[in-house]
Amino acid sequence: MFDIPKDMTQSKKLKILPFLLVAIVLFIVIFAAFTPQAFSVSTSKSEHLFSKVEYSSMTVMVSGYGKLVPQVQRGVNAISSGHIVEVVLKPGNIVNKGDVILRLNNPKLLRAMETSELELLEEKSHLQQVMAESRQILEDQLGAIRLAKVRLALSKAELTANETLKESHVISALDLHKAKVEWEKEDAILQMETSRYNTLQQTRQSINQSALYRLEKAQKQYEMFALEVKQLSITASMDGMLTELADDLEIGRHLDEGQVVGMIADLSSYYARISITANDAEFVSPKLAAKVSIKGIDMPGFVSRVEPSVTNGSVEIDISFTGDLPTSVRPNIDVNAAIEVAEHKNTLIADRPVGVIRGHREYSMFILNEKLELFAKRQVLVGDIYGDKAQLISGIAQGEQLLLQVPTHLANKEQFTIGDLYD
């Protein structure tokens, strides 16, 4: 008998059906997973392209960075030249006025001081000798005057006696005349000795004064050398911190007179030396409010100075503080600063379009029309810019939307549709 063949088509369909069901489920899962993400990306992209103009407030800040600088700093100089024999202190050491920082040696200077000391002793001895000679000479002259006075008195007595004898006709007129001439002679000698004494006084006074000047000169010279020797020990000129010391201060190195070797800072008061861009500097002026971030703490202050010159595209400004600083601050620590250059209230604000890099200028922007279908080019005056926000002065109204980034192929057009953005 013949076997009747079975219908295999239905059997095959039943075997394929589970695979089809699994494939359909996987497709649904994948579609459900990726469709929201794609929609989100598209929406995000669309939202990122436009910015709506709204009335708002905006504070314009200029930021910069720099260091804390002490209000009072003094250089450490080598007053006397010499070779380094000891480096006593290092940067960071707290110093008091008079503390030794470096010690130098200068044998030539030491010998000059010793020679000067001997010259000083010699001048002291010379002055004593001159003074003694002056006293002796003047004393001798005073003796001569006393002797002349005695002789004059004797002559006077003889003259008086002869006058009496002449009246009695005991002596002749010639003898009286001789006595009178003798008295006049002794009187002239007394006057001469007195005049000589006065002259000697003036002469010896000049000689004494000259010797005294020589002594004072030797004294000053010795003191100068002694001071230079003392200054071979380079000391701190005030209380504070030794903030800088030259790197090449090695034992045996020669330092010239007046050479700067370090810096001392007063730790009681500081200001911030901040560097800002030259473009920002045109908006910064003295007395503007500022904040300086010191180790995460914002300290209020104000701009006290703006450097008039530009160096490598930057301008330095100084910010003085209005309050007490933390006790932990130290010279030259890094700080950041923000200066408030403008504050706008109830002004038109929008996200800053690409290409708008400087404020207070007109820019060509594409504005979306009321039907939200067409972009038209328009000139818009931009005011201040801060971060990703821009102040819009004219050329646009509240509620309008502007295109933030114009595709290259549409930049030269006067208008285009939204659809053109995605072509």
**pLDDT tens digits, one per residue of 352-404:** 999 998 888 999 999 999 888 899 999 999 999 888 999 999 999 999 999 99
Assign 28 a pLDDT band (cuts: 50, 70, 90). Answer: low
Assign 327 a pLDDT band (cuts: 50, 70, 90). Answer: confident
Residue 139: predicted pLDDT:
94
Check pLDDT > 50 for residue 282. Answer: yes
- Which of 4-8, 398-402, 419-423 is the least confident region? 4-8
**What tens digit of pLDDT does each residue of 53-104 get?**
999 999 999 999 999 999 999 999 999 999 999 999 999 899 999 999 999 9
**What tens digit of pLDDT does each residue of 101-128 get?**
999 999 999 999 999 999 999 999 999 9
Assign 24 a pLDDT band (cuts: 50, 70, 90). Answer: low
- Which of 105-109, 205-209, 324-328, 386-390 is the least confident region? 324-328
Which of 316, 319, 320 has its CA nearest to residue 308?
Answer: 316
- Which of 230-244, 293-307, 407-421 is the least confident region? 407-421
Question: What is the residue-averaged pLDDT of the chain?
Answer: 87
Provide, rounded to the nearest whole percent, the portion of the chain with pLDDT above 90: 66
Residue 27: predicted pLDDT:
60
Assign 42 a pLDDT band (cuts: 50, 70, 90). Answer: very low
**What tens digit of pLDDT does each residue of 226-279 get?**
999 999 999 999 999 998 998 888 899 999 999 999 999 998 889 999 999 998
Check pLDDT > 80 for residue 9. Answer: no
**H/E stretch holding 27:** helix 9-49
For residues 112 and 225, the answer to whether their CB atoms sit within 8 Å is yes
Pair of tokens at residue 116:
């000067």
Phi, psi for residue 321 in degrees, rounded to 5: -95, 150
Overall average pLDDT of the 150-166 stretch? 89
Domains, the chain, ordered by start: 52-68+268-421 (2.40.30.170), 74-102+237-251 (no CATH), 108-230 (1.10.287)
Which of 178, 173, 143, 142 has its CA nearest to residue 158?
Answer: 178
The residues, any chain, with a CB within 8 Å of residue 91's CB and separated by 6 or more, are 242, 243, 244, 245, 262
Place of tokens 């469709």: 35
Provide, rounded to the nearest whole percent, the portion of the chain with pLDDT above 70: 88
Reported pTM: 0.58
Assign 38 a pLDDT band (cuts: 50, 70, 90). Answer: very low
Residue 17: predicted pLDDT:
57
Helix pair 107-167, 173-230: axis angle to 10 deg: 170
Higher-scoring residue by pLDDT: 4, 269: 269
For residues 203 and 196, the answer to whether their CB atoms sit within 8 Å is no
Residue 33: predicted pLDDT:
44
For residues 186 and 152, the answer to whether their CB atoms sit within 8 Å is yes
